Chain A
């Protein structure tokens, strides 16, 4: 019977089915209510078990040789229920003035962002210059302090900080109870 095969092939680490009515692996054959066949000769059993083991090994080798399946990226696949036509939003089409306004606003925005970026870069440049000056003065003072100052600070990174929110935290706020159940599908290769 296949049950005896599994227990003899795999080491104790695998939980066997029906373990609840099996006390220990050593007292296995005594406690197990063996059904059907009376005791066969040992040679035939051994040969059969060997053959079964080989078959299982061959199957495992075949599976391992096959290329691993690609894990589907769920974000790139639109579910079918969103592809029928009744979901299309019906809004009045844009007037000429509206499109003009949008184009002009985009241009103003790109200019605004350009200025912001330049200002940021200049500020960083100024910071770096100030630091270089400070380091030069320090070097003039003492070489030892300078070497200590340009050493890398290992405790600085990784630097974590919770970003600013729209409102400050409410003191004594009791958030509503609830459990978040994660239903993301996990694929294994």
Chain B
């Protein structure tokens, strides 16, 4: 028997995550433990070739300084000592400047840039018109018969970020659901409310300069979601987000 048409409208939403690019800062216990492990490793190790060479040269220097009569063995040929090598390596390291972990976007708190908060996940939020309100949501689009929910979510993503976005969608199954009933004014027999199914994807390409950004989008972390999302929606979204 054909099922009666359900009164819920279906939406597919995509939670696009930009994965962290740098490591998170270590906790206090982790730092102490790392230091201890380094110390134990040093204690249990033997001397390496470089260290033996260094020790031998220190001995030689010391002997030469003490026995001042041995001037006929003055160093006529320039021998590179291990100490000089170490200094050279130190200098080279100091000259290298790595990229800063806290970027400019962090300092300006520019939430539209992807270079902010490189040590945590960033999620895409867009402003959409639902009913007669403009709300900040995860990009969602209505399901059309004939496509799977996953392709609905992909369509939602493409709508806001353009076609050439590279994202790895994690599986065919939805991760979360948000169910809401329409306000009484619009509610009819056939149209009680809507169900929004969330899908998760990882952003593969690191720069979105080629993507055509339509309307306003933001990239926010999990703790900043509370500034934008409504409480009920936020509760459901938080369920499927790892820190």
* Chain A residues near B (Cβ < 8 Å): 82, 86-89, 91, 102, 105, 108-109, 112, 123, 126-127, 129-131, 133-135, 137-138, 140-142, 145, 148-153, 156, 159, 161, 164-171
Contact = CB atoms under 8 A, between A and B. Distances in A.
Contacts of B42: 89, 91
Determine chain A's interface SS by DSSP, over half rule: helix
Contacts of B29: 108-109, 112
Given A127-B240, A130-B239, A164 B20 contact: yes
A170 B99 contact: yes
Contacts of B172: 148-153
Interface string B1-22: 0010010101000000001111
Contact of B176 (A86, A112, A131): A131
Interface stretch (B43-51, B124-132, B226-234): B43-51
B167 interface: no
Given A87-B46, A109-B29, A131-B175, 5 more contacts: A82-B46, A141-B195, A149-B150, A150-B172, A166-B101
B81 interface: no
A167 to B, nearest CB: 4
7 contacts: A89-B45, A112-B30, A137-B177, A149-B149, A152-B172, A156-B171, A164-B23
B211 interface: no
A168 B100 CA distance: 7
A88 B46 contact: yes
Contact of B23 (A112, A123, A165, A171): A165
A149 B52 CA distance: 63
Interface in B177-212: 177, 179, 195, 197-198, 202
B33 interface: yes
Interface of B: 3, 6, 8, 10, 19-23, 27, 29-30, 32-33, 36, 42-43, 45-47, 52, 98-101, 103, 115, 118-119, 148-150, 168-177, 179, 195, 197-198, 202, 239-240, 242-243
A131 B99 contact: no
Contacts of A149: 148-150, 172-174
Given A109-B33, A135-B173, A145 B242 contact: no
Contacts of A166: 22-23, 98, 101
B239 A126 contact: yes
A105 B28 CA distance: 11
Contacts of A151: 172
Nearest to A98: B39
